[in-house]
Structure 1
Amino acid sequence: MPWYENFFHGLTQDAWKAAQTDDQTRLDLEWLVETLEFGPDDRLLDVFCGYGRHALPLARMGCSVVGVDISDEYTAELRGAARRDNLPVETVSGDFLTAPLTGLFDAGYCLGNSFSFFPRPVMLAFLRRIADLLKPGGRFLAHTGMIAESVLPDFQERTWMPLADNFFFLAENEYDPLESRMDSHLTYLKNGKTETRLAQHYLYTLGELRHLFREAGFAEPTCFGDTDGRAYELGDTDLWLLAERR
Structure 2
Amino acid sequence: MAWYHTYFKGLPQRAWKLNQDEEYTDFEVDFLRDVLEITPESKVLDVLSGYGRHALPLAEQGTTLTCIDISQEYCEELQTISSKQQLPLEVICADVLNYALPDQQFDAAYCLGNSFSFFPRAEMQQFIGQIASALKPGAHVAIHTENLAESIFPNFQTRNWMPVQEDIVYLAENEYRAEGGYIEAEQTFIAGSERVAHNVRQHIYTLGEITYMFELAGLVVVGTFSNLEADPFMLGDEQLYLVACKQ
Residue aligning to 2:131: 130
Residue aligning to 1:175: 176
Residue aligning to 2:91: 91
Using the alignment, how far apart are the partners of 1:172 and 1:229 within structure 2?
A: 32
Using the alignment, how far apart are the partners of 1:220 and 1:86 within structure 2?
A: 35
Q: Deviations over 1:185-216 (max 9, x none)?
A: 00001132100011111110001111010011
Residue aligning to 2:35: 35
Using the alignment, how far apart are the partners of 1:165 and 1:7 within structure 2?
A: 20
**Contact kept in structure 2, 1:44 and 1:106, CA below 8 Å:** yes
Using the alignment, how far apart are the partners of 1:245 and 1:100 within structure 2?
A: 19
In structure 1, give the amino acid aligned to 2:22. D
Q: Deviations over 1:129-172 (max 9, x none)?
A: 00000000010000010110001110011111000132110011
Cα distance, 1:89 vs. partner? Answer: 0.8
**Contact kept in structure 1, 2:221 and 2:242, CA below 8 Å:** no
Using the alignment, how far apart are the partners of 2:78 and 2:100 within structure 1?
A: 18
Report the secondary structure of 2:115's partner residue.
helix
Q: Deviations over 1:26-54 (max 9, x none)?
A: 11111101100021121100000000101
Residue aligning to 1:14: 14
TM-score using structure 2 length: 0.97
Alignment of 1:1-246 (within 5 A): 1-102=1-102, 104-246=105-247
Q: What is the percentage of aligned positions where both structures have the same residue? A: 41
> Structure 2 unaligned runs (5+)?
none
Using the alignment, how far apart are the partners of 1:190 and 1:84 within structure 2?
A: 31
Q: Deviations over 1:76-124 (max 9, x none)?
A: 0000001111111100001112224335100000001211111111111
Using the alignment, how far apart are the partners of 2:39 and 2:23 within structure 1?
A: 23
Using the alignment, how far apart are the partners of 1:220 and 1:77 within structure 2?
A: 33
In structure 2, give the amino acid aligned to 1:227. L
Using the alignment, how far apart are the partners of 2:167 and 2:97 within structure 1?
A: 37
TM-score using structure 1 length: 0.98
